[in-house]
Amino acid sequence: MTVIEMAASSEALKKYPFLVGADSYVAGLSLSNIGQYPRLLALVERKVRYLLKLSEVPVQVEDKRDAVALFGASLALVSASGNRRMIRTFALALSRELEENLARDMPKNYVQVAASLGIRAEYKNSFFEMRLPDYLKLKGIDNDPELLLPQLPLKRGVVRLSPNVFRLLISRVFRKAITEKMEGDMPTLRRASLDESLREVINSVALDFTKKRGEELDVSSVSPVESLFPPCVKFWASEMKKGINIPHQARFLVATFLLSLEMSVDEVLEYFKQTPDYDERIARYQVEDLAGEKGSGKKYSVPRCDTLRTSGVCVCKEGLCSHMSHPLLYYRISVEKKLKGDKFAGTECSKLLSRVLSRSGPRAPRNTGISEKRVRFSAAGQKRDDQAHVFRWTFLSEELPNCSTAFSRLFLHSLIPTPLRTRHER
């Protein structure tokens, strides 16, 4: 983590044990000698179990040294388990705990906490201000609609954030930072010579976590199976293969999803080659940029389901999709179900998709099963019958009951030629 110098009080360290200078309180403590401190080791196990929801007993510490040691040792313990799902679950729980602590604190104190995470901001007139270049450098904020730059006030190169949004930003950056740290330390800690009592704790916690959550499947180790892709990826990928120009948000989803399955840039480009505006040079650069091979060097994450629903890219709300939080989670669950012999794996919204995906070519929307004869356009095709348009909206919502509202609006736009859309729709 990038840090700057600042003073940390005892109360601050108990709430935020990662502040600058905290390491000085645990000098000499390591995983090889933590067994010499049985009270601390017991605290670490209780803390990890509580945050992983393996126990309902919270851990309270009264001493800043305990808080700092507890934080560092718990990260190391989870990292040494070698379980990536456990790492991500623990990082999420810690970030939520941080957000709760910030909510009980004074907004003016957020700046100090943010600075320890490399977030440069100033608190002015009840708002936090960040320079645009500083904001764009942050990691971990790509998938939250509230943190997307178009949603934030921007004036003269300065981004303004309310205390609630800034609190969310801190927790997301913190979560990304500790996830990267734990995953980065994992190979070293797995090979390290650990205290025997610590090794027993690690194995016990990992075993209980696996019993509760199940073994994690590394989807990147399985050849991509298109039939198990989430409905949104399946739909938009098929549209591109038919030569239909799809929205930017949908292209971003397809590209990042395929890259997350360890597909090569060339393999991803095969999905885009049929689009009307395909340009090999531009498309290659853009996909390489998303993969972290060009540009900023940052590999972009697959958007979360909340983001897809907001932007109208989500196409399904039945089955798994009714309570899904991320496309990759859908795919992982579908692969696991398929490997267990579930013949219905990956079939959410299958009726809708089979009807819509049976279209061929950009002008095929008239064959989707929606009654075009009940939608009256003028012969010249330049004027629109308002009654028919209202009826079409009603009929569309009845015909596609399992689609999200935002997708229905986007799908309607693909059915109505541009000259027929009103200024409100454009």
pLDDT tens digits for 322-332?
A: 888 889 888 88
pLDDT at 62: 81
Within its chain, how far is the Cα of 11 from the centroid?
32
pLDDT tens digits for 271-290?
A: 888 888 888 889 999 999 88
pLDDT tens digits for 362-390?
A: 443 333 333 333 333 333 333 333 333 33
- Which of the two residues, 389 and 334, has the higher pLDDT score? 334
Provide the whole-model pTM: 0.58
pLDDT at 215: 56
pLDDT at 214: 61
pLDDT exceeds 90 at position 102: yes
Name the range with the highest mean pLDDT among 32-41, 128-137, 295-304, 340-349: 128-137
Q: Comparing 91-100, 147-156, 299-308, 372-381, which segment has the lowest mean pLDDT? A: 372-381
pLDDT at 291: 87
* Extents of the domains making up the chain: 10-213, 218-426
- Which of the two residues, 380 and 14, has the higher pLDDT score? 14
Q: Predicted confidence band at 358 (pLDDT cuts at 50, 70, 90)?
A: low
pLDDT tens digits for 68-80?
A: 888 988 998 999 8
Length of the chain as a residue count = 426
What fold is seen in the domain 10-213? Transcription Elongation Factor S-II; Chain A (1.20.930)
pLDDT at 23: 75
| Helix (H) / strand (E) containing 94 | helix 84-103
Distance CA 343, CA 358 (A): 22
- Give the mean pLDDT of 182-201: 83
Radius of gyration (Cα) for the chain, nearest Å? 25
| Helix (H) / strand (E) containing 160 | strand 158-161
- Which of the two residues, 411 and 144, has the higher pLDDT score? 144
Residue 352's CB: how many other CB atoms inside 10 A? Answer: 22
Torsion angles phi and psi, residue 308, rounded to 5: -65, -40
Q: Identify which of 285, 309, 297 has the alpha carbon closest to the alpha carbon of residue 408.
A: 309
Q: Comparing 24-38, 191-205, 209-223, which segment has the lowest mean pLDDT? A: 209-223
Distance CA 173, CA 120 (A): 12
Residue 250's CB: how many other CB atoms inside 10 A? Answer: 22
Beginning with the edge strand found earlier in the chain, give each strand of the sheet holding 158-161 in spatial order. Answer: 122-124, 127-131, 158-161, 154-155
Question: Which two tokens mark 237?
Answer: 């990928």
Q: Predicted confidence band at 256 (pLDDT cuts at 50, 70, 90)?
A: very high
Please tell me whether residue 154 adopts helix, strand or coil conformation.
Answer: strand
